[in-house]
């Protein structure tokens, strides 16, 4: 099923500002949302049956639809199935990833928030700036772009939990099929965080997956739309629960240095900081650990959450030149309350922004400047794949990790 905005290409041609010419490796482009041209296609589908050639060798599909009822009413989702991995993108919610599945492996968690809540039902200032939690249930939340971390007052400017980008609808959405170097599906979204006398920042995100692969990749660019320098912060709040998380599960990373976020985490002790023992009772309190990690010569590194039996895992790969800091969030409370852990690469740590600025960890973009980051999530589906990934991570570990028992 195709519609307005679809283009099957036989030759290069002009296509708005997002794509001035069509490279030879692009098989298809569909523009599903374009606020500048008052375009929004609500129901749309493209599949292997529609495209032929090498694209028919794997059964895949891309579907856009609109949710109805409750607090999800009006939310637009794009469901991608590459033949092995399926995932749901939410253009209405900052172009986040709600959930992903590869066979029996789910990348996501069981939140008390069951619906994909529309931004119109979320007041970020509620509960002293904790309103962000009203819709928290996704696998991948973005924090930023102006700020992330807990609510705080920054010299009179009040920031709410984890910023605004996670609740801003995309202004432009495009689906592409690229043939080279290997057939892959690309969904591009543009989300603008801009206001008068405030930030003028743009997120341009390409979420891609190769046909038949167990991985999805986010290629993100944050652009300063103004002609003046602007601070920015960006966090990839990736959240996982069962079947990966459970008693005996383990976090693995090439840790250079790790320390507890606060005194509460320090009281729990650093013994077993990277192990999981829950779910626990209602008296459990979340634990957060900050770390710097080793990388290869090109800046590449990875962190992994593996199941207790070592037969499955999720691998989070990123570049420390783009995302220098890694946070581990452990929330091993009762299952009904949201049993989850977060592996969170970022431009800084989720502290109040003034704290991060004082530590020199808040990037500043020059007028018209940009910051790029690439993060890949891979589902590992066998003990062999898990063992190989762990060995690769261990190979990055140049020295024993420095484990601090007090917050820095």
- Decide if pLDDT at 135 tops 60: yes
Query: How far apart are alpha carbons 127 and 114 in whole angstroms?
Result: 20
With the C-alpha atoms ordered 170, 301, 161, 73, is the resulting torsion angle positive or negative? positive
User: Would 278 be classed as within a structural domain?
Assistant: yes
Radius of gyration of the chain (CA): 21
Which of 19-33, 47-61, 94-108, 168-182 is predicted least confidently? 19-33
| Domain assignment of residue 118, yes or no | yes
CA neighbor of 335 nearest in space, from 281, 277, 272? 281
> Distance between CA 279 and CA 291 in Å, rounded?
24
Between residues 8 and 292, the one the model is more confident about? 292
* Element (DSSP H or E) covering residue 39: strand 39-40
Nearest-angstrom CA–CA distance, 208 and 185:
5
Q: Is residue 66 part of a domain?
A: yes
Point out the least confidently predicted range of 44-53, 122-131, 249-258, 294-303: 44-53
**Residue 331 covered by a domain:** yes
Q: Is the pTM of this model over 0.75?
A: yes
Residue showing tokens 């739309």: 225
Confidence of residue 5 (pLDDT cuts 50, 70, 90): low
- Percentage of the chain surpassing pLDDT 90? 88
- The answer to whether residue 25 is domain-embedded is yes
Domain that holds residue 397: 6-403
Count how many domains the chain has. Answer: 1
Residue 1 falls inside a structural domain: no
What CATH number did the domain enclosing 321 receive? 2.70.98.10
Tell me what the mean pLDDT of segment 297-316 comes to: 98
């Amino acid at each position: 099923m195709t519609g307005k905005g679809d283009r099957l290409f036989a030759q290069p041609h002009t296509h708005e500002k997002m794509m001035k010419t069509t490279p030879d490796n692009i098989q298809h482009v569909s523009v599903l949302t374009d606020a500048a041209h008052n375009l929004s296609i609500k129901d749309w589908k493209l599949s292997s049956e529609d495209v032929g050639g090498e694209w028919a060798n794997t059964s895949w599909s891309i579907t856009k639809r609109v949710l109805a009822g409750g607090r999800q009413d009006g939310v637009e989702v794009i469901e991608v199935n590459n033949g092995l991995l399926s995932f749901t993108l939410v253009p209405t919610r900052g172009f986040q990833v709600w959930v992903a599945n590869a066979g029996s492996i789910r990348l996501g968690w069981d939140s008390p928030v069951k619906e994909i809540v529309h931004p119109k039902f979320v007041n970020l200032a509620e509960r002293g700036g904790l309103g962000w939690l009203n819709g928290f249930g996704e696998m991948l939340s973005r924090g930023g772009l102006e700020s992330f971390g807990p609510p705080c007052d920054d010299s009179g400017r009040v920031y709410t939990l984890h910023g605004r980008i996670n609740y801003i609808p995309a202004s432009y959405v495009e689906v592409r099929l690229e043939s080279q170097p290997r057939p892959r599906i690309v969904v591009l979204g543009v989300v603008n965080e801009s206001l008068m006398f405030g930030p003028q920042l743009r997120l341009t995100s390409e979420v891609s997956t190769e046909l038949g692969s167990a991985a999805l990749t986010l290629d993100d660019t944050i652009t300063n739309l103004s002609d003046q320098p602007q601070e920015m912060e960006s966090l990839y709040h990736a959240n996982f629960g069962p079947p990966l998380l459970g008693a005996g599960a383990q976090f693995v990373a090439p840790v250079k240095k790790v320390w507890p976020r606060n005194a509460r985490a320090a009281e729990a002790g650093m013994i077993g900081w990277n192990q999981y023992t829950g779910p626990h009772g209602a008296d459990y309190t979340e634990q957060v650990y900050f770390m710097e990690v080793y990388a290869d010569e090109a800046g590449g590194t990875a962190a992994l959450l593996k199941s207790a039996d070592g037969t499955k895992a999720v691998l989070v790969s990123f570049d420390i030149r783009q995302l220098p800091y890694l946070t581990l969030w452990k929330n091993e409370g009762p299952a009904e309350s949201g049993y989850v852990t977060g592996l969170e690469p970022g431009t800084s740590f989720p502290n109040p922004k003034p704290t991060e600025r004082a530590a020199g960890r808040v990037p500043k973009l020059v007028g018209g400047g940009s910051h790029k980051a690439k993060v890949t999530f891979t589902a590992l589906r066998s003990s062999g794949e898990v063992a190989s990934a762990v060995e690769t991570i261990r190979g990055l570990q140049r020295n024993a990790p420095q484990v601090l028992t007090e917050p820095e």
